[in-house]
Amino acid sequence: MQNLAHLCEQVRQISQEVGRWIKTQVGQVSSNQIETKDLNSLVSYVDKYAENQLISQLGKLVAGSSFLAEESGESDIKSDYLWIIDPLDGTTNFLHSIPFFAISVALQHKGQTILGLIYDIMHENAYYSWGENRAFCDGQEIRVSNQTQFNQSLVATGFPYYDFSYRQHYLSMIGELMSETRGLRRLGSAALDLAYVACGRFEGFFEYSLSPWDVAAGAFIVQNAGGVVSDFGNGTNYLHGREIIAANPACQSALFTCLKKHFHQSSEKN
């Protein structure tokens, strides 16, 4: 296994190359080139081509590594090293030419994330971390916000778009957060929301019905930037448990308290 810092730089270069191609496709996808995988879950040739390119190039960096990717699922190859990839997080934004979508790449070794990178395609920014190192954006160290007052915190979330089983819990919590925080944002890319938590733009983020490729890289970057990540039960099953809270320490505690009040024991039903 090569040096993680060097490997992260190679992942950045690959993501940048694929991201630049994705950027050329904004506004070029016609309606008959869009497929519906599930309710409000869209995919086009852009997602598929980008994923194929990422798998092809990342596979050369770590010989025999496996892949878990949004469009192709999990590879049959079993390895101690697993790449978790979302080639285009924020597909709906991309298809509507809304400039908020990203590539998300994480690498795990024996189930533990050791590298994470999020590439903001339209702004051409890379957020990344490796090992137990610090977190960075384009070479500059980033840290979560030091805001301790919840009523002065900006919180991001993602509205349910296909799983409405907790809709009332969610709306109830949103109602409280409207008056208890500085504001709420729903920008449409969980990967970038997590990157924004890591660099202190948001104090916190929460969402349910997410997949590992949505959060693997971002959760790792937030943690290495000094943040706290948990599931809705304040446990560690945020990668496969389909629910996540990521925030600076003060905001994470306040968000969890609010969520527990409105969701009750919903996380036990997942």
d(C-alpha 47, C-alpha 241), whole Å: 24
Number of structural domains (the chain) is 2
The answer on 173 and 105 residing in a single domain is no
Q: What does the pLDDT look like over 216-266, one tens digit per residue? A: 999 999 999 999 999 998 999 999 999 999 999 999 999 999 998 887 644
pLDDT score recorded for residue 28: 83
**Ramachandran class of 111: left when φ > 0, alpha when ψ lies in -120 to 50, beta otherwise:** left
Length of the chain: 270
Beta carbons within 10 angstroms of residue 204's beta carbon: 31
Give the percent of the chain with pLDDT over 90: 75
pLDDT score recorded for residue 2: 64
Kindly indicate the confidence band of residue 201, based on its pLDDT and cuts at 50, 70 and 90. Answer: very high
- Evaluate whether 155 touches 177 at the Cβ level (below 8 Å): yes
Domain that holds residue 180: 150-264
pLDDT score recorded for residue 43: 65
Instruction: Judge whether 113 lies within some domain.
Output: yes
H helix runs in 62-104, sequence order: 91-95
Q: What does the pLDDT look like over 37-62, one tens digit per residue? A: 554 455 678 889 999 999 999 999 99
- Evaluate whether 193 touches 158 at the Cβ level (below 8 Å): yes
The answer on pLDDT for 22 being more than 80 is yes
CATH number of residue 240's parent domain: 3.40.190.80
The answer on 192 and 167 residing in a single domain is yes
- The residues that bridge with 84 in the sheet, in sequence order, are 68, 106
The answer on 163 and 133 residing in a single domain is no
pLDDT score recorded for residue 223: 98
CATH number of residue 32's parent domain: 3.30.540.10
The answer on 126 and 20 residing in a single domain is yes
**Burial (CB count within 10 angstroms: exposed 0-12, middle 13-18, buried 19+), residue 220:** buried
The answer on 8 and 133 residing in a single domain is yes
Instruction: Judge whether 178 lies within some domain.
Output: yes
Distances (CA, A) of 44 to 34, 87, 140: 5, 11, 34
The answer on pLDDT for 108 being more than 50 is yes
